[in-house]
Structure 1
Amino acid sequence: MPEAAERAESAAPNAVFEKGADLATLRLTGSWRLASLARIAAQLEALQWPEKFAVDGSGVTEIDSAGALALLTQVDAHSRSPPQLTGFQANELRIVEQVRGRLEAARAPTRHHQERTLEMLGRRTIEVALSVVGDINFLGATVVGLGRSVIHP
């Protein structure tokens, strides 16, 4: 069991800044998945973000769209331009880039169609009319069935 605990701890997502000569690097390690989203968000919010930085994903074992969204949301909030992404495996980089491409759409408010009064009245009238037709059809079928039962018991 201690091995399982060690694997779980090593797979836990982690993010730390390493200062470089001219550029800081955000080093990511572990599994950046939905199951660890609370930990990911807490770590990213606790960081002291420098003005310029790069993101190194060489230590990321796996990432899903939830982890990528949490990362990119914080990165976008703390940088003027998208930082360079380095070290990610091809599949992980593809996921991060797909989320990055849809980031603006995810932030856009959802537009809800508000039904106008006349539109609502017309739709509801049609619904009631169809319901009445169905009820009349049922009543007719019931009367015919009863009539047949009376004629041919």
Structure 2
Amino acid sequence: MSPSPPGFALDKSGEETILRLRGDWTVATLHYVERELSGVRLPSGAGIDVSGLGRIDTAGAFLIDRLVREGGETPPRLIGEHASAASLIAQVHAVSDPAAPPKVTPNGLIEMLERVGRGTEAFVRELIATLAFLGETVSTIVRLCAQPWKMRWTSIVAVMEEAGLNAMPIVAFLSFFVGMVVAYIGATTLSDFDLEIYTVELIGYSMLREFGVVLTGIVLAGRTNSSFTAQIGTMKMRQEIDAMQTLGLKPMEVLVAPRVLAMVVMTPILAFVATMAGIAGGIVVGWTSLDINPGLFIERLRTSVPLDQFWIGMSKAPVFGLVVALIACRQGLLTGGSVQSLGHRTTTSVVQAIFAIIVLDAMFAIFYMELGI
């Protein structure tokens, strides 16, 4: 009989917290949940439901006892019936019961330095793992391009519609009003110097070079990124990815590559729409508040703002699309077997994507400044 993968769920109903266990908690299966379980903190008085527990050995009992000790509960309060869980956990608890550690007076500076060090170490590890995933993704896409009959065109087109075409209204709507805000700010500031006409240049440079593509990336990070992570994470929770691998299908080819290719293609299109919508918002403000008719606005924009500003903005779009899809897919594949893990990975995915877009945009700005563009 093959072992059943372990799992758990933290049930916070009312004032009582219960950790419900399921599957086999043995030395051969604990690696499935040990990482997710390390992030769980049980409050004092929490119960552990063992009615859904399968097989358990001393390794599983030790892991449960350690979790209970961290919450301050001693001995563990078990709920439900199980043939050997209560006795094993009691034996492990009696053997590993340590003497009370000496009370250490906290040092604020040392704790702060420790947290900074741990955060830096975690950041470096995450960066290295993301770069490794990027390399694996690029190699997979190159292999698929060399073997186009293996490319899943239906999946690519479906993702392009879901993540690109369906996101176009909200991207255009948001960029239109941001363009209006920038135009109003420019008009208010420049009116003190009787230079309201230069609002056209302000709108042109800001929307073509920065705001259009950055707003697109942020919207995709909040909308599409979370969707990709939730989709892949749900498949991971339901063990659909394990079944896929059993059938000989590679998750990188089936799940990751179509999403990455679709985002790389659709992000420049969305950035173009966002840029045009932002300029349209500036035209509306110029027409209604500054008496600059649309024809004059467009003509001055054409003559005063170089075309290379448009290409600078468009050059960022594929990179932003690649980063958003890459982070979303990686966090989805890292999802554990619990709902808490799915929520944590989705939140992490969105935060990382927005952070990466802002940092990459700053790096692009420094790069183009050094080139004198």
When normalised by structure 2's length, the TM-score is: 0.25
Match of 1:103 in 2: 96
**What stretches of structure 1 of length at least 5 have no aligned partner?**
106-153
Q: What is the rounded CA distance, in whole Å, between the counterparts of 1:32 and 1:93 in structure 2?
A: 13
Aligned to 2:75: 82
Does structure 2 conserve the Cα–Cα contact (< 8 Å) formed by 1:60 and 1:88? no
Greater fraction of residues in strand: 1
Residue in structure 2 matched with residue 30 of structure 1 by the alignment? 23
1:63 aligned partner? 56
Tell me the distance in 1 between the aligned counterparts of 2:81 and 2:36: 19
Gaps of 5+ in 2: 99-373
Task: Name which of 41, 44, 47 aligns with 2:40.
Answer: 47
Paired residues of 1:16 and 1:47 also in contact (CA < 8 A): no
Displacement over 2 Å in runs of 4+: 37-40, 46-52, 79-83
When residues 57 and 80 of structure 1 are mapped into structure 2, their CA distance, relative to the original with a 3 A threshold, is closer
Identity within the alignment, %: 28
Equivalent pair of 2:48/2:79 in contact (CA under 8 Å) = yes
* Contact 1:40/1:70 (<8 A) preserved: no
Q: Deviations over 1:70-117 (max 9, x none)?
A: 111121012244341121413222111111111126xxxxxxxxxxxx
1:14 aligns with 7
- Larger-gyration structure (1/2): 1
Cross-structure match for 1:146: none
Q: How many residues align?
A: 99
CA RMSD for the aligned pairs? 2.4
Moved more, 91-100 or 48-57: 48-57
| Distance of 1:76 and 1:57 partners within structure 2 | 17
Question: Residue 55 of structure 1 contacts residue 86 of structure 1 at CA under 8 Å; is this kept in 2?
Answer: yes
Q: Are the aligned partners of 2:41 and 2:71 in contact in 1 as well (CA < 8 Å)?
A: no
- CA change 1:96–1:81 in 2 (3 A) is closer
- Post-superposition CA distance 1:108-140 (Å, at most 9, x none): xxxxxxxxxxxxxxxxxxxxxxxxxxxxxxxxx
Checking the alignment, whether the CA contact within 8 Å between 2:65 and 2:76 is kept in structure 1 is no
The amino acid of 1:84's aligned partner reads R
The structure that is helix-richer by fraction is 2
